[in-house]
Amino acid sequence: MVEPTGAPLIRVLVVEDEPLAAEAHAVYVGRLAGFSLVGTVGTGQEAFRWVTAAASAEKPIDLVLMDMNLPDSHGLDVSRRIRAAGLSTDIIAITAVRDLENVRGAIAAGVVHYLIKPFTYSTFAAKLTSYRHFRVELLGQASVVTQSGVDSAFASLRTPVDLPRPKGLSDSTLGAVVAYLQAEALPVSASQLMEPLGLSRVTARRYLEYLADLSLASRAPRYGTRGRPENEYRWKSAT
């Protein structure tokens, strides 16, 4: 499957033993443009089997969202097995574990992001969007990369996504705003969100400004409109 931009969809496997969390992460992936959910599994053994089978079938899994505390193994052990098998699947650690030893272990195992539970959809979306930009930057390089190309790719992973959420912004409304932006080919203003999402102009602008501050949406002045000046916003899908 390919997006209209020509960028291939990123195939994602969710590895999570808690059914509610697994379902939530799967739903989150489904909301994001540019990603395709392959499946969800609850053990390290299943995760390794899925990744290796997909590679053998020449339909590789691009990204694993890896819980660290699995019933049969530690997520880092599974990550090391994937690396030892010579598979290039990327891994994002999703865990409540915060100690420095695990973070260092994740880095050593080639984990590209470390997402600490609990988290909001906006934080999840920001992490995966920055990963997508990183991946597209690398795929766009020639077989021999330049220093500036490498710097640009890794800068994508350092997007400032952990801004505190302003009081009063809900997950459900934020998800609706994100979905609306992703579905629109042209930039939208706060006024355009009022009727379809049932928001006041001020409220719509708060959500749009928050997404712009997270670097998930671009923000630019809208020229040629009567009355008060207005900004327009566009979802930053990787191209």
What does the alpha-carbon distance between residue 128 and residue 29 come to, in Å, rounded to a whole number?
Answer: 9
Dihedral of alpha carbons 30, 74, 127, 120, sign: positive
Sheet of strand 217-222, all strands in order from the earlier edge strand to the far edge:
188-189, 230-235, 217-222
Please compute the mean of the pLDDT values over residues 16-37 and round it to a whole number.
92
Provide the pLDDT for residue 29: 93
Q: How many domains does the chain have?
A: 2
User: Does residue 196 fall inside a structural domain?
Assistant: yes
Please name which of 131, 132, 103, 129 lies closest in space to residue 116, comparing C-alpha atoms: 103
Provide the pLDDT for residue 239: 45
Together in a domain, 24 and 114: yes
Together in a domain, 110 and 205: no
Q: Which of 119, 143, 161 is the last residue of a domain?
A: 119
Together in a domain, 104 and 177: no
User: Does residue 91 fall inside a structural domain?
Assistant: yes
Provide the pLDDT for residue 136: 76
Together in a domain, 14 and 81: yes
Provide the pLDDT for residue 165: 67
Domain CATH code at residue 86: 3.40.50.2300
User: Does residue 18 fall inside a structural domain?
Assistant: yes
Q: Which residues contact 40 (CB under 8 A, 6 or more apart)?
A: 13, 14, 15, 16, 22, 23, 25, 26
Together in a domain, 114 and 180: no
172: part of which helix (H) or strand (E)? helix 171-183
Three-state SS string across 53-67, please?
HHHHCCCCCCEEEEE
pLDDT digits (tens, 9 = 90+) for 56-91: 999 999 999 999 999 999 999 999 999 999 998 999
Domain coverage including residue 191 = 171-235
What global pTM score does this model have? 0.64
Helix H segments across 8-159?
19-31, 44-56, 75-84, 100-108, 121-139, 147-156
User: Does residue 2 fall inside a structural domain?
Assistant: no
| CA 220 centroid distance within chain | 23
User: Does residue 193 fall inside a structural domain?
Assistant: yes
User: Does residue 149 fall inside a structural domain?
Assistant: no
Provide the pLDDT for residue 194: 93
Together in a domain, 101 and 183: no
pLDDT digits (tens, 9 = 90+) for 86-125: 998 999 999 887 777 777 888 878 788 888 888 888 788 8
pLDDT digits (tens, 9 = 90+) for 128-184: 888 887 787 766 554 555 555 445 444 555 544 455 667 888 877 888 888 888 888
Together in a domain, 180 and 109: no
Together in a domain, 109 and 175: no
Please compute the mean of the pLDDT values over residues 187-214 and round it to a whole number.
91
What does the alpha-carbon distance between residue 16 and residue 12 come to, in Å, rounded to a whole number?
Answer: 13
User: Does residue 141 fall inside a structural domain?
Assistant: no
